[in-house]
């Protein structure tokens, strides 16, 4: 069981009966935070400081109750999932088919690809599709200067000729320009604290957060003698996951590619980042002589729902529908999700017996 | 607002000490005095001062950002449409680029040696100064030269030609009055030339550019010619080079976006061997490919000694056949190849080019994407 907010400093008033003198006595024994108090031995501590054993045990009980996670039944989780998850179309039917009908809210999806493979175009297509068809708000965080509102307008003009619809759709897309990882973290924390409601157009909630690209700000912090890069990367991952889960939004990130030892393409930012997105798509250009010019292939390299597959697509507005490439081997279908994200849904599909008696902890 | 200490821009060693002392959010720290922080966290007085300053500055920035709100795509569209663009004096190249080099974005020009990258950069440094009443930007230029290829005589020729061209076009009193500021001497004095000899000087200069641009707000163009040269020799550690280039790319993108200037970079070409075949690709590696927002690749077409660029837009495009010869008076005839892209794009009529006969206004509804890479595509050299 993991305590939420364990690193809270002991201050007067967080617990009834915890006075300044007791705090000073505890600090003399190097007990500064809630975690230190909860994990220490109460008898020993009572002897060293001049605090009664009963008082210490009472403090522990109150603090644990305040900071603990509590279990949720699998059935409740499943019901909550059914009622709150929505699937958002990306605007491109081939990619939707690959992603099991679209982007799922509550999850992080990643698009990886080399330069000019269509990552930003696909992000634009998602933003336009959500703003126009679903009439919901989109937060677009751009880190590399690739945001082009004229392109968004062009995509909208291909969908509808009514200028007021185009205007409303453009108003539902909010753009943040950040260029380094600290600004990105500040932006994400601020959004989370404000509940994603900062100046949204009335009548819509934020359904998607797009970060293009997350590797532009993180890749310069990783490697060499820098020891902070991994920590910052994991903080970004934690923020994105919390935004996805707490506000029921779909998070879409883009990443660059590198080559592994055998020369095969793989997504950047290393092994640790590879566990962060739930679904990963690899985009590549097609350079075959007879192929149409805008053709790209998308390969599903990680999914908890589908067998990995690939297909070809053109950036909107033209797109190919069935041009499936070779199937790759299935990855991660056995990834069990006892961490609470889709536990009950997964269980229901795979095991039809007795899943509602499974106690699943919802980990925040 | 819960800004955590671990996500704040502080030195890592100081962060570790603060976290060990139990401070995890900025709210825990902000009310303390430097001396108290010093004692509780075990850091020096100077570090404590720096930490408190950084956190307070950060929270003030966040409040400002929250107060002004975020920008919607509609407002961004209005900004983009009201901005001019930087013409190159080659109408086909302008058409391919969507009216010229975009202001507020980074553009990379790659090409084999001798194709005209430096010439194009010098031309842009002159073109940025064209007065607003002639359809230009009326700004100044910063030219960072790492190779030593900037020729003042050539810049003078181009400046003289541009001034004469505008003099022929002047129709009303406003334009004639603007011409008085558009003379050879004024043009040359508005190009700020910085010579960098190695990558350290280049990085230092890039750190100083935001301050320079804030003091001198008329600068609308920053040219770095070339960015590949200082990074391609004297570097043993390729991963360090990649990291430096990535952070340089982010700084340049930030500069272009926040100061609303056009940033133009020049890159060289290198040979990539794969599967027994070799092809020319832009230098500095694959990760640098993500750096610039727009990319223009120029190379010679087989026997014709003509520079070619083709757009990789996914909408239908037509290929214009004869190359444009020596467009504009800015190019001397000694240099036979001009920079004609063999691609003509239809553009929307929303952008007018008043008094600018060289850019042909073509009919059509499509506005080219300003966010796509231009690629050379030839039968023998797919890129």
- Residues of A whose CB is below 8 A from B62: 186, 190
Contact A283, A276 (CB under 8 A): no
Question: How far apart (Å, rounded) are the C-alpha atoms in residues A181 and A186?
Answer: 9
CA A153 to chain centre: 27
Per-residue pLDDT band at A202 (split at 50, 70, 90)? low
Residue B198 DSSP code: S
Contact A314, A285 (CB under 8 A): no
Dmax (CA) for chain A in angstroms is 84
Query: Across the interface, do A144 and B1 touch by the CB < 8 Å criterion?
Result: no
Among B303, B340, B311, B309, which Cα is nearest to B325's? Answer: B340
Contact A116, B372 (CB under 8 A): yes
Strands A310-314 and A295-302 come out as: antiparallel
Among B156, B160, B167, B103, which Cα is nearest to B134's? Answer: B167
Question: How far apart (Å, rounded) are the C-alpha atoms in residues B347 and A177?
Answer: 28
Among B185, B100, B196, which Cα is nearest to B142's? Answer: B196
User: What's phi and psi for B83, nearest 5 deg?
Assistant: -85, 145
- Span A241-274, pLDDT tens digits: 999 998 889 999 999 998 888 878 888 888 899 9
Query: Across the interface, do B314 and A293 touch by the CB < 8 Å criterion?
Result: yes
- Other CB atoms within 10 A of residue A148 CB: 25
Per-residue pLDDT band at A292 (split at 50, 70, 90)? low
Query: Across the interface, do B290 and A153 touch by the CB < 8 Å criterion?
Result: no
- Using DSSP, state whether A341 is helix, strand or coil: coil
Residue A77 C-alpha, separation from nearest chain B C-alpha, in angstroms: 28
Picking from B62, B70, B314, the nearest residue to A176 by CB comes out as B70
A317-344 mean pLDDT: 31
Question: How far apart (Å, rounded) are the C-alpha atoms in residues A83 and B325?
Answer: 65
Beta strands in chain B (DSSP E): 71-72, 106-111, 140-145, 191-195, 219-225, 262-267, 269-274, 277-282, 294-301, 306-308, 310-311, 374-375
pLDDT top residue among B192 and A307: B192
- Other CB atoms within 10 A of residue A13 CB: 8
User: What's phi and psi for B90, nearest 5 deg?
Assistant: -125, 115
CA A187 to chain centre: 15
Contact A148, A112 (CB under 8 A): no
Contact B195, B149 (CB under 8 A): no
Size of interface A-B (CB pairs under 8 A): 174
Question: How far apart (Å, rounded) are the C-alpha atoms in residues B84 and B86?
Answer: 7
Does the N-terminal peptide bond of residue A361 adopt cis geometry, omega within 30 degrees of 0? Answer: no
- Considering chain A, what percentage of its residues have pLDDT values greater than 90? 26
Query: Across the interface, do B373 and A116 touch by the CB < 8 Å criterion?
Result: yes
Tens digit of each residue's pLDDT, chain B (383 residues): 567 888 888 888 888 888 888 787 887 777 788 888 888 888 888 888 888 888 888 888 777 776 666 788 898 999 888 888 888 888 878 887 878 888 999 999 988 888 889 999 999 999 999 998 888 899 999 999 999 999 999 999 999 999 998 888 888 888 888 888 888 999 999 999 999 999 999 999 999 999 999 999 999 999 999 999 999 887 888 888 999 999 999 999 999 999 999 999 999 999 988 788 888 888 998 889 888 888 888 877 764 434 444 332 322 222 222 232 233 333 333 333 333 332 222 222 233 332 222 333 333 333 333 333 333 333 333 33
CA B149 to chain centre: 19
Question: How far apart (Å, rounded) are the C-alpha atoms in residues B303 and A240?
Answer: 54
Question: How far apart (Å, rounded) are the C-alpha atoms in residues B103 and B90?
Answer: 17
- Using DSSP, state whether B112 is helix, strand or coil: coil
Residue with tokens 């320079």: B212
Question: How far apart (Å, rounded) are the C-alpha atoms in residues B252 and A1?
Answer: 46
Query: Across the interface, do B243 and A223 touch by the CB < 8 Å criterion?
Result: yes
Per-residue pLDDT band at A311 (split at 50, 70, 90)? low
Contact B76, B348 (CB under 8 A): no
Picking from A179, A189, A235, the nearest residue to B250 by CB comes out as A179
pLDDT top residue among A155 and A29: A155
- Using DSSP, state whether B234 is helix, strand or coil: coil
Token readout for B238 is 């390729």
Among B150, B269, B24, which Cα is nearest to A11's? Answer: B24
Residues in chain A: 364
Query: Across the interface, do A116 and B289 touch by the CB < 8 Å criterion?
Result: yes
Helix (H) or strand (E) holding A142: strand A137-142
- Span A64-116, pLDDT tens digits: 888 777 788 888 888 887 888 889 998 888 889 888 889 999 999 999 998 88
Helix (H) or strand (E) holding A194: none
Can you give the pLDDT at residue A125? 92
Question: How far apart (Å, rounded) are the C-alpha atoms in residues A115 and A86?
Answer: 31
Helix (H) or strand (E) holding A138: strand A137-142
Helix (H) or strand (E) holding A192: helix A181-193
Residue A5 C-alpha, separation from nearest chain B C-alpha, in angstroms: 10
Residue with tokens 């600290």: A182
Can you give the pLDDT at residue A259? 84
Question: How far apart (Å, rounded) are the C-alpha atoms in residues B13 and A25?
Answer: 28
Question: How far apart (Å, rounded) are the C-alpha atoms in residues B96 and B100?
Answer: 8
Among B62, B64, B55, which Cα is nearest to B27's? Answer: B55
Residue A40 C-alpha, separation from nearest chain B C-alpha, in angstroms: 16
pTM of the model: 0.76
Per-residue pLDDT band at A35 (split at 50, 70, 90)? confident
- Considering chain A, what percentage of its residues have pLDDT values greater than 70? 79
Question: How far apart (Å, rounded) are the C-alpha atoms in residues A178 and A216?
Answer: 11
Question: How far apart (Å, rounded) are the C-alpha atoms in residues B163 and B126?
Answer: 10
CA B199 to chain centre: 18
Query: Across the interface, do A145 and B382 touch by the CB < 8 Å criterion?
Result: no
Strands A206-212 and A250-255 come out as: parallel
Kindly write down the DSSP assignment for every residue of B316-328, as one continuous string.
--B---SPPPS-S
Kindly write down the DSSP assignment for every residue of B29-92, as one continuous string.
HTTS-HHHHHHHHT--HHHHHHHHHHHHHHHHHHHHHHHH-PEEHHHHHHHHHHS--B--S-HH
Residue B245 C-alpha, separation from nearest chain A C-alpha, in angstroms: 8
**Looking at chain A, which residue has its C-alpha nearest residue B366?**
A154
């Amino acid at each position: 069981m993991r305590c939420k907010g364990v690193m809270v400093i002991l201050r007067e008033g967080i617990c009834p009966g915890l006075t300044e003198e007791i705090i000073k006595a505890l600090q003399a024994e190097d007990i500064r935070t809630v975690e230190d108090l909860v994990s220490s031995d109460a008898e020993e501590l009572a002897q060293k400081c001049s605090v009664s054993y009963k008082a210490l045990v009472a403090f522990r009980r109150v603090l644990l109750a305040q900071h603990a996670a509590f279990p949720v039944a699998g059935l409740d989780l499943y019901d909550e999932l059914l009622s709150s998850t929505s699937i958002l179309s990306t605007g491109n039917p081939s990619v939707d088919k690959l992603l099991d009908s679209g982007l799922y809210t509550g999850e992080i999806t990643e698009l990886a690809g080399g330069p000019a493979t269509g990552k930003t175009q696909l992000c634009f297509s998602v933003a336009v599709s959500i703003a126009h068809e679903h009439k919901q708000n989109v937060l677009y965080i751009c880190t590399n200067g690739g945001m082009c509102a004229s392109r968004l307008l062009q995509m909208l003009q291909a969908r509808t000729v009514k200028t007021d619809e185009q205007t409303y759709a453009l108003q539902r897309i909010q753009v943040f320009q950040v260029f380094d990882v600290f600004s990105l973290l500040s932006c994400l924390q601020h959004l989370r604290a404000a509940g994603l409601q900062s100046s949204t157009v009335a009548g819509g909630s934020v359904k998607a957060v797009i970060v293009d690209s997350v590797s532009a700000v993180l890749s310069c912090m990783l490697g060499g003698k820098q020891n902070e890069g991994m920590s910052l990367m994991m903080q970004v991952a934690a923020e994105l996951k919390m935004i996805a889960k707490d506000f029921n939004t779909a998070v879409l990130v883009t990443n660059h590619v590198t080559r592994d030892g055998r020369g095969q393409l793989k997504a950047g930012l290393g092994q640790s980042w590879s566990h962060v997105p739930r679904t990963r798509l690899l985009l590549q250009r097609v350079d075959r002589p007879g192929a149409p010019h805008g053709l790209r292939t998308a390969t599903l390299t990680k999914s908890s729902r589908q067998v990995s597959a690939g297909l070809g697509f053109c950036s909107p507005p033209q797109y190919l529908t069935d041009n499936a490439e070779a199937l790759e081997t299935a990855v991660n279908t056995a990834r069990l999700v006892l961490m609470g994200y889709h536990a009950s849904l997964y269980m229901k599909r795979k095991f039809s017996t007795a899943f509602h008696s499974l106690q699943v902890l919802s980990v925040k | 607002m819960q800004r955590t200490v671990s996500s704040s821009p502080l030195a890592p060693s100081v962060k570790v000490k603060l976290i060990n002392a139990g401070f995890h959010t900025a709210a825990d720290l902000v009310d303390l005095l430097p001396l108290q922080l010093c004692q509780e966290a075990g850091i020096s007085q100077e570090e404590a001062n720096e930490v408190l300053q950084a956190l307070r500055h950060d929270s003030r920035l966040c409040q400002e950002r929250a107060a002004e709100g975020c920008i919607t795509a509609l407002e961004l569209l209005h900004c983009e449409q009201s901005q001019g663009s930087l013409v190159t004096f080659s109408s086909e190249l302008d058409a391919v680029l969507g009216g010229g080099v975009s202001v507020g974005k980074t553009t990379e020009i790659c090409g084999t040696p001798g194709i005209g990258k430096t010439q194009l950069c010098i031309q842009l440094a002159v073109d940025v100064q064209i007065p607003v009443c002639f359809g230009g930007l009326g700004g100044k230029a910063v030219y960072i030269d790492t190779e030593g290829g900037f020729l003042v005589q050539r810049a003078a020729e181009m400046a003289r030609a541009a001034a004469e061209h505008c003099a022929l076009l002047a129709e009303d009193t406003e334009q004639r009055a603007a011409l008085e500021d558009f003379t050879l001497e004024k043009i040359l004095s508005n190009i700020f030339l910085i010579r960098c000899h190695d990558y350290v000087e280049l990085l230092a200069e890039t750190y100083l550019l935001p301050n320079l641009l804030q003091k001198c707000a008329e600068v609308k163009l920053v040219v770095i010619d070339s960015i590949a040269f200082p990074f391609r020799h004297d570097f043993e550690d390729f991963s360090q080079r990649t990291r430096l280039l990535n952070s340089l790319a982010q700084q340049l993108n930030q500069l272009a976006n926040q100061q609303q200037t056009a940033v133009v970079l020049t890159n060289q070409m290198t040979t990539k061997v794969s599967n027994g075949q070799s092809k020319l690709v832009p230098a500095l590696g694959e990760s640098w490919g993500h750096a610039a927002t727009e990319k223009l690749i120029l190379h010679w077409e087989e026997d014709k000694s003509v520079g070619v660029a083709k757009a990789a837009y996914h909408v239908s495009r037509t290929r214009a056949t004869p190359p444009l010869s020596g467009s504009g008076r800015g190019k001397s005839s000694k240099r036979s190849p001009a920079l004609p892209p063999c691609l003509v794009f239809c553009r929307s009529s929303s952008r007018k080019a008043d008094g600018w006969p060289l850019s042909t206004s073509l009919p059509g509804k499509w506005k080219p994407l300003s966010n796509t890479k231009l690629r050379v595509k030839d039968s023998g050299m797919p890129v």
